[in-house]
């Protein structure tokens, strides 16, 4: 299970402090991505060269379980290594107007690693609550730095999804117009609202690579949790990825995610820390709904609902 993996990883890293240089940890976390959507698992038309490289140079897992089929419970399990009912993040997901969040008395992966000298950052989707005065944001859960939308980007009004000014495909069914426009937080301050989707991934990657560069220069062990909004509905992509893939909109979103992975791998190499860094890629809970026929042999599709 995912939570057992996290528990073993954190325990091993804490033991490393006794005798060796502490390795860095990067978790690359996709949203609603099915394993069959990747070329390394057999998809014939997905454009994912950087993820293909990871699979060729590292370990490719063929059996893996997540604690929940929904975003918030799954992420709570990842962060705490506990089944989500134990933390109370169950059975549903946090909405923008919810007052709750991941309980502050839960020990997160970030808090465990901070206790042994790690610098910690999350970039991207949090989805474990905001709360009054931001009390449940990542900066109160063990992270030194945070940038991102604190929940799913379909919990906002739809606007432009594809470069340069193409609207989202099905705004009435893919987005919730009852909430305010998506905010982008930096730590506890809103720096952009509404979030500009066609520039969002570039903004995220800039923040992630700057964190890697800064901590590498300081020779500080670091934990980066890179939680992509991709490939959750509605799909979106910027200039580099739009119309880049024969899989259509979903393929473009996946290609942009893969580009982001490549930028992070390149930064690790450029800063000379790639050989001392564990890099993991996984998804929160797989594709959102099997009946959508998102994965494996389809060429063109809209992605998960």
Q: Between β-strands 222-227 and 119-124, what pairing exists: parallel, antiparallel or unpaired?
A: parallel
Q: What's the CA angle centered on 266, arms 124 and 123, to 5 degrees? A: 10
CB 240 within 8 A of CB 259: yes
Catalytic (active site) residue 232:
no
Q: Give the residue from 34, 74, 2 showing the smallest Cα distance to 254.
A: 34
Rg (CA), the chain: 18
Q: Say how many Å lie between the first and final Cα of the chain, rounded.
A: 25
Considering the candidates 8, 40, 43, 71, report the single residue annotated as catalytic.
71
3-state DSSP call for residue 72?
helix
- Quick one: which H or E segment has residue 279? strand 277-283
Q: Give the residue from 102, 109, 100, 105 showing the smallest Cα distance to 80.
A: 109
Q: What does the alpha-carbon distance between residue 109 and residue 10 come to, in Å, rounded to a whole number?
A: 7
Considering the candidates 127, 140, 153, 232, report the single residue annotated as catalytic.
127
Catalytic (active site) residue 156:
no
Positions annotated as catalytic residues are 71, 127
């Amino acid at each position: 299970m995912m939570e057992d993996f996290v528990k073993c990883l954190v325990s091993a890293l804490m033991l490393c402090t006794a005798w060796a240089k502490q390795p860095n940890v990067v978790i690359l976390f996709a949203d609603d991505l099915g394993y069959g959507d990747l070329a390394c698992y057999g998809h014939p038309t997905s454009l994912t060269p950087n993820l293909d490289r990871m699979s060729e140079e590292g370990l490719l897992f063929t059996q893996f379980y997540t604690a929940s089929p929904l975003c918030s419970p799954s992420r709570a399990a990842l962060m705490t290594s506990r089944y989500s009912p134990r933390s109370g993040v169950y059975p549903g997901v946090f909405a923008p107007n919810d007052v709750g969040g991941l309980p502050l008395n839960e020990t997160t992966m970030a808090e465990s690693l901070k206790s042994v000298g790690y610098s910690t950052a999350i970039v991207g989707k949090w989805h474990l609550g905001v709360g009054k005065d931001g009390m449940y944001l990542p900066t109160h859960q063990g992270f030194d730095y945070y940038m991102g939308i604190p929940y799913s980007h379909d919990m906002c009004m739809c606007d432009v999804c594809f470069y340069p000014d193409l609207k989202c495909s099905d705004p009435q069914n893919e987005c919730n117009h009852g909430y305010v426009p998506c905010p982008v937080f930096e730590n506890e301050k809103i720096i952009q609202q509404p979030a500009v989707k066609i520039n969002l991934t570039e903004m995220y990657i800039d923040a992630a690579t700057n964190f890697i560069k800064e901590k590498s220069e300081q020779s500080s062990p670091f934990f980066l949790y890179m939680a992509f909004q991709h490939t959750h509905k509605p799909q979106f992509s910027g200039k580099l990825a739009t119309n880049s893939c024969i899989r259509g909109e979903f393929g473009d979103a996946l290609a942009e995610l893969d580009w982001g992975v490549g930028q992070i791998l390149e930064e690790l190499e450029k800063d000379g820390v790639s050989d001392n860094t564990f890099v993991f890629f996984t998804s929160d809970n797989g594709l959102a709904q099997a009946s959508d026929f998102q994965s494996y042999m389809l060429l063109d599709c809209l992605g998960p609902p």
